[in-house]
Amino acid sequence: MAVERHQGATVDLTGVSLTTGYTIAVPTTISNVCTVELGLHGIIASTVGTPWGLRLGATAGIESSGYRAGHSRMTSTVQSVSESENWFVMCGQTETSNDFYGYARLGLSTPTHRWFCESMLFDYGGEGIQRLSAGTKKLTSALTHIQIWAGGKPGTFSAGLVMPVYYYTT
């Protein structure tokens, strides 16, 4: 069994609604996806204080419950932790509209559609904030969509690129 790599199309989040987010479809031309990596470059939510992250989807659509996820925000003086059952929070509430760079990695941990998510972001805006998150979600069927979402908050993404890479077995 070999693992192949497929570079997905880069997504520009500029102007995308925080309320509905942006949904990336896993290409139907590949099957047996076992890992997805998302490069995250310069992502800014226009509304200060807005968290953002990921939700996963299967054939029935985006799933909004059953996540077991944690998020940690660290600076040189403060550390805070939060949990979520509704999504993978990657960037908790921000004090300013800083741009974030980093990655998110989704890995299939069992053949029963259980996915593990880990992410690391760094604030490029000068505050020196690191954000780490991890969690798990069992989907009802195979992964078909990944939604970048801000918890239904008002506003838009002011900037940001998402570069998906899919790894699959042949």
DSSP string, 120-154: EEEETTTT--EEEEEEEEE-SSS--EEEEE-TT-S
Model confidence pLDDT, tens digit, residues 15-34: 999 899 999 999 988 888 99
Tens digits of residue pLDDT in 99-112: 888 999 999 987 78
Predicted confidence (pLDDT) per residue in 70-91, tens digit: 878 777 676 667 677 788 887 7
Q: How far is it, in rounded angstroms, from Cα 107 to Cα 135?
A: 11
Map residue 27 onto helix, strand or coil. Answer: coil
What are residue 41's DSSP bridge partners?
A: 161
The reported pTM is 0.90
What is the distance of C-alpha 42 from the center of its chain? 14
Q: What is the mean pLDDT of the chain?
A: 87
Please state the length of the chain: 170
CA neighbours closer than 13 Å in the CB half-sphere of residue 67: 24
Compute CA distances 71 → 8, 44, 120, 143, whole Å.
Answer: 26, 18, 10, 22
